[in-house]
Structure 1
Amino acid sequence: MKKSRRIGLIMIISGATLWGLSGPMIQWFFHHTELSSISFLVVRLLLAGFFILSYLFFRKKNIFGIWKLPRHWIQLIIFAVFGMLGAQYVFIEAIHVSNAVTAMLFQFFGPVLITIYVAIQIKRLPSLTQFLAIITALTGLYFLITNGSVENVVLSKKAIAFGVLTMLGFTFYTLHPESLIKQWGTIVIVGWGMFIGGIVLFLSHQTFSVYSLTETLTINTFSMMILIIITGTLSFLFYIGILKYLSPTETSILASIEPLVAAIISVTWLNESFGAYQLLGGIFIIVAVIFLTIPKKEIELYAATQKVS
């Protein structure tokens, strides 16, 4: 095995494992503290964004150039508020009102929506493989929500609502910053997205204060919060560098261990239990997303039309 490929495999497995672990950690955190999702997210976004931008600054990267172009920084602010902040908020709330595995599976459904969006944009029906994957994913989502019985829906209305918003948030988060990332790079956009999102949430959440934060947190919960921030940031940085070593298909397939890791940790550590049909639904969603990584012609055509426009 080539050294570069070995590095790529280590990065994707590490990134997926850390992200899969972060979900149960967030769930544990909210079970052991009275801190609100918004207060937690303020700290998470501000610290992660600050450290990423500081890292880039000391590496002498141009992190301020984007602010010289109004069209770009307007797009950046939209991404920060509705993409970065919006997607993370609904994901954390989905964990809060359901559990980590369910939230991750809803998020994992995002590529299905992206496939549908791309098909609409290029005005072409999905390929047979894509169509079957979409049907499989929808079947999986049905099982996840109902555990096989419409009369006894296992998820609350709030959990379903935040789950659907998590799918939409992931889709917007992925599609909106495409042109910005091509121009400025992924890390710059994500760093600013986190930092701006944190500032916006801090200014709009007037009840947030450092004093109330210190009063609410114990040594254990504070340590867990820092660990969540570190693992989440590291997992994303791993994902950023992966495509230098692995193909997008390999990356997506290996990333499917995220919900598997979350499920194992949730069952063994948090004593979560899942219905047989819910587990089957999760498998359906994962298999569907893997199959969606195989055909690339429509994605390439969409990218080409974006360049022309």
Structure 2
Amino acid sequence: MKSPRHLGLMMIISGATLWGLSGPMIQWLFNYTELSSTDFLVIRLLLAGMFILCSLLFTKQNIFEIWKYPRHWIQLLIFAIVGMLGAQYAFIETVHISNAVTATLFQFLGPVLITIYIAIQHKKLPSFMQVIAISAALTGTYFLITNGSIENIVLSKQAILFGILTAVGFAFYTLHPASLIKQWGTSIIVGWGMLLGGISLFLYNQEFHFRYVANTLTMSTFSMLILVIISGTLSFLLYIGSLKYLSATETSILSSIEPLVAAIVSIIWLNESFGAYQLLGGIFIIVAVVFLTMPEKSSNRTHVRKEETLSA
């Protein structure tokens, strides 16, 4: 039999790989359908949220207890609309405007923003390792946007804007629900966050109609849509499961294969091309995140919460 550690390694690598695959799969959907970012996000959030909550009900967990406490469900609503929906929308829109790899790399700037925020909040200068990581992340972002030449910016203003919003959004939904997750558990908070975010976007987007979406999908694009939802949900479940067998540092470092998987799949499958400096920028950002997982346990816990919510 495989040891628990081997099982944990298989789970985190599988989960990170699935999340890395989901970005190019979403990009393929946008290439071959007329789905908008909001159309896709309504479907994804509603189905994934219902799946997680129904799974919890099946295991006889009380998913409705949180609604007895006004202070908690108000925080939950803020998390669902501003955090979950905001970050997911920015990520999907970045994929739509640019590509999956760019969106994934901007997402990985989240821990860097969290480190800066915590340093300001505690009025404490970052450690030497954190300064190196922040510098590496900023350098990587510069290369990603400019491909080494400030005169020839390779990303549009919209892509840069939504990319930055992606990083800010993921940092927010990592920090904001910390007390809720501690009280109620990750699965309940993320499940309700996705369902409520999907309902909010559905009510806001008056142009969304399930019949229209169904008519625009072919058998192949519908199959891909289902695969994207399943892969994202499985990625979340595998990541959560791996935490039983591995340390926070190990899971954080191993999850850094996400952008690498996204890059390889995008180049081979979608024929995406990236400049040498853009690829170098991606490496800088990944290295920065790895550095941030090493020096302090607080950074590890923060990154873990980020991954739990992303992989849903």
- The equivalent residue for 2:56 is 56
TM-score of the pair, normalised by structure 2:
0.94
Alpha-carbon spacing, 1:298–1:187, altered in 2? closer, same or farther (3 Å) = closer
CA contact (8 A) 2:292 2:299 kept: no
For the pair 1:287 / 2:276, whether they are aligned, the reply is: no
Percent identity between matched residues is 73
Deviations 1:213-262 (A, max 9, x none): 11111111111000000001110111222221111111111111000000
Runs of 4+ residues deviating >3 angstroms: 297-302
Instruction: Indicate if the aligned counterparts of 2:46 and 2:195 stay in contact, CA closer than 8 A.
Output: yes
Counterpart AA for 1:65? E
Determine whether 1:213 maps to 2:238: no
CA distance in 1, matches of 2:28, 2:290: 29
Whole-Å separation in 2 of the counterparts to 1:2 and 1:55:
27
Q: Partner amino acid for 1:73?
A: W
* Cα distance, 1:301–1:47 mapped onto 2, change above 3 Å: closer
Is the CA contact (8 Å cut-off) linking 1:118 and 1:298 kept in structure 2?
Answer: no
- State the distance in 1 between where 2:242 and 2:111 align: 18
Cα distance in 2 between the residues matched to 1:17 and 1:298: 25
1:37 paired with 2:37, answer: yes
Cα gap change, 1:229 to 1:113, in 2 (>3 Å): same
Which residue pairs with 1:119 in the alignment? 119
Q: For residue 4 of structure 1, what is the amino acid of its counterpart?
A: P
Alignment partners' CA distance in 2, 1:300 and 1:225: 32
The change in CA–CA distance for 1:277 and 1:14 in structure 2 (over 3 A counts) is same
- Aligned 8 A contact 1:119 1:298 in 2: no
* Matched residue SS, 1:150: coil
Residue in 1 that maps onto 2:12: 12
| Structure 1: stretches of 5+ with no match in the other structure | 303-309
Look up the equivalent residue of 1:254 and give its one-letter code. L
* Correspondence list, 1:73-92, <5 A: 73-92=73-92
Q: Which amino acid aligns with 1:145?
A: I
Identify the residue that residue 104 of structure 1 maps to in structure 2. Answer: 104
1:13-71 CA distance string (max 9 Å, x none): 00100000000000000000001110111111000000110010111101000000000
Amino acid at match of 2:53: L
Residues 2 and 127 from structure 1, CA distance in 2 versus in 1: closer, same or farther, beyond 3 angstroms?
A: farther
Aligned twin of 1:151: 151
Letter in 2 for 1:216: T
How far apart, CA to CA, are the structure 1 residues paired with 2:51 and 2:217? 22
- Is the counterpart of residue 250 in structure 1 residue 250 in structure 2? yes
* Distance of aligned partners of 1:234 and 1:116 in 2 relative to their CA distance in 1, 3 Å threshold: same
* Matched-pair contact (CA < 8 Å) for 2:106–2:166: yes
Structure 2 contact 143–277 (Cα < 8 Å) conserved = yes
The residue identity in structure 2 corresponding to 1:253 is: I
Count of equivalent residues: 302
Hey, what's the Cα distance between the residues in 2 that align with 1:226 and 1:40?
11
The residue aligned with 1:276 is: 276
Cα-Cα RMSD: 1.5
Which residue does the alignment assign to 1:141?
Answer: 141
| Cα gap change, 1:154 to 1:176, in 2 (>3 Å) | same
Name the aligned partner's letter for residue 224 of structure 2: M
Alpha-carbon spacing, 1:37–1:298, altered in 2? closer, same or farther (3 Å): closer
In structure 2, distance between residues paired with 1:214 and 1:286 = 38
SS at match of 1:154: coil
CA contact (8 A) 1:48 1:233 kept: yes
Corresponding position: 1:197 with 2:178: no
Contact 2:42 2:199 in 1 (8 A): yes
Q: How far did 1:300 drift?
A: 9.0
Is the CA contact (8 Å cut-off) linking 1:118 and 1:299 kept in structure 2?
Answer: no
**1: CA distance, partners of 2:13 / 2:299:** 25
TM-score by length of 1: 0.95
